[in-house]
């Protein structure tokens, strides 16, 4: 599923509309899938819920709706955000539209035994109470069909490690907005790395964070924004 998302990122990048264009026509998908994709990308929550239910009522499989509408819709959002064509408010409303539509699919996916391929842990580091950036990354990861465990804010290093062990996490994401909490980020990365968790990658991001700092503290990757965080996670997981 996640590899499908990675391929869609490449395909969608060639079809992105000019700034200000409202709707997008993706020929590989059915008209109703396109309509749902546009509803998600435009942040039209009520339309996203209605169209998801209509597709289910028409006999579409939940995974097909996920693969052909919700995931590519969020892929488009991420690409437009990276191109500075939309900003945080638009990304938030799109993510919320996706989240509401996904609520209709999750019980059906679980019943069919279909689970996300990867699990990600995310939180804001100890001493930092800011959560907007962390929430954006969490929603974008969820939109790429990862199982996301959100630990919230002011998360102690030991809590990250315990959650990573409990959930066999593939990705651990650390967020910080304050320069004063960057030492907590350093300590958390060290604790997780010292634990030698097999297959676990640590990603960091936030306003004061740089690629140089990520390299210095031994993180596996650094992302400057929520859209890039999806690409980075997929790359570290070998899906791009």
Residue 199 CA to residue 196 CA, distance in Å, equals: 9
pLDDT tens for 60-96 read 999 999 999 999 999 999 999 989 999 999 999 999 9
Out of 94, 111, 128, a domain closes at 111
Which residue in 138, 135, 91, 143 sits closest to 116, CA to CA? 143
Average model confidence (pLDDT) for the chain?
89
Can you state the percent helix, strand and coil of the chain, rounding each to 5?
A: 55, 10, 30
If asked whether residues 152 and 217 sit together in one domain, one would say: yes
Q: How many residues does the chain have?
A: 240
If asked whether residues 98 and 142 sit together in one domain, one would say: no
Q: What's the pLDDT band for 108 if we cut at 50, 70, 90?
A: very high
pTM here is: 0.82
Domains identified in the chain, total number: 2
Residue 101 CA to residue 238 CA, distance in Å, equals: 28
Region 149-166 average pLDDT: 98
Q: What's the pLDDT band for 28 if we cut at 50, 70, 90?
A: low
If asked whether residues 96 and 145 sit together in one domain, one would say: no
If asked whether residues 24 and 79 sit together in one domain, one would say: yes
Judged against a pLDDT cut of 60, whether residue 168 lies above it is answered with yes
What CATH number should be reported for the domain holding residue 73?
Answer: 1.10.1240.10
List the domain range (segments joined by +) for residue 55. 2-111
Q: Which two tokens stand for residue 141?
A: 């990861």
């Amino acid at each position: 599923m996640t590899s499908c998302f990675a391929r869609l990122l490449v395909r969608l990048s060639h079809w992105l509309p000019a700034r200000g264009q409202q709707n997008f026509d993706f020929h590989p998908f059915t008209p109703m899938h396109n309509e749902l994709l546009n509803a998600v990308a435009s942040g039209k929550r009520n339309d996203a819920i209605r169209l998801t239910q209509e597709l289910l009522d028409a006999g579409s499989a939940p995974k097909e709706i996920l693969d052909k509408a919700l995931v590519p819709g969020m892929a488009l959002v991420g690409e437009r955000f990276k191109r500075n064509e939309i900003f945080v408010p638009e990304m938030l409303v799109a993510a919320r539209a996706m989240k509401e539509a996904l609520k209709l699919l999750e019980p059906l996916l679980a019943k069919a035994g279909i689970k996300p391929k990867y699990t990600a842990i995310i939180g804001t580091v100890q001493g930092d109470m800011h959560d907007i950036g962390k929430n954006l990354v969490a929603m974008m990861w969820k939109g790429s069909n990862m199982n996301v465990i959100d630990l919230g804010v002011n998360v102690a290093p030991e809590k990250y490690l315990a959650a990573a062990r409990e959930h066999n996490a593939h990705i651990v994401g650390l967020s910080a907005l304050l320069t004063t909490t960057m030492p907590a980020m350093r300590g958390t990365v060290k604790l997780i790395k010292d634990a030698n968790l097999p297959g676990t990658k640590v990603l960091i991001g936030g306003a004061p964070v740089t690629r140089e700092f990520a390299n210095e503290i031994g993180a596996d990757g650094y992302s400057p924004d929520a859209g890039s965080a999806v690409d980075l996670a997929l790359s570290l997981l070998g899906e791009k």
